[in-house]
Structure 1
Amino acid sequence: MARTEELAGRLSERVRIEVLPEGRGEAGEASAQWRTLAERWAAVEPVERVTASVLAADTRHPARRWRVTLRDGIAVQLGMRLVWRGEALRISGIARDPARPGLTLLWVEDPAA
């Protein structure tokens, strides 16, 4: 029980997962409106730039990055975005830790950085 309460206390940030649906509008134009898939409580932690680059094994210009922990129950995929504190962030990584069942870890970054 203590472990559940400890986790619940860490999930203190409200986040929104959004998807960009493929399809056409009424006039046949490409639809470019993000749609909310889910809203959840999450833990959001900044990730050091060097650590994030090593984890992602990339050579891109380092961006502002965060690690987000949320409960399972959402089919999160790359290409979706996470909105946190009014800022739209690109989902750049998804993992499930076998040592922490029931949780999804996301790595998100500021696409403008």
Structure 2
Amino acid sequence: MFLEFLPARIQRKINANNLPFKVINIGLSGEPSAVELERVDLYIDQHFDLFVLELGANDILKDIPSEITQRNLQALIDKVKANYPSITMLFLGIKITFCLAEARTIPFNFVFKK
């Protein structure tokens, strides 16, 4: 259960409380933000009540500059907002502090504060 992905955990809680919501996980483990930005187009026509964005760690691990990650995440947010102007969004930034040089991780800590 420790390694269970967040969408599955959320769906389990929804089911346990008999709520009428379905979680759709459009992310793929290991994919960078640029790929997720393209993938959202495949799902944008589905009805969303809540949009949870949990991205960024793979970009750090793949040495993608934080500016590119920030641009991709903002574009993804803009796409969803354009289709669902009043949607509730939850942003989850991944902070990596282990086994990586500070010079690599510090810029990403600021991406999610913006």
Structure 1 length-normalised TM: 0.25
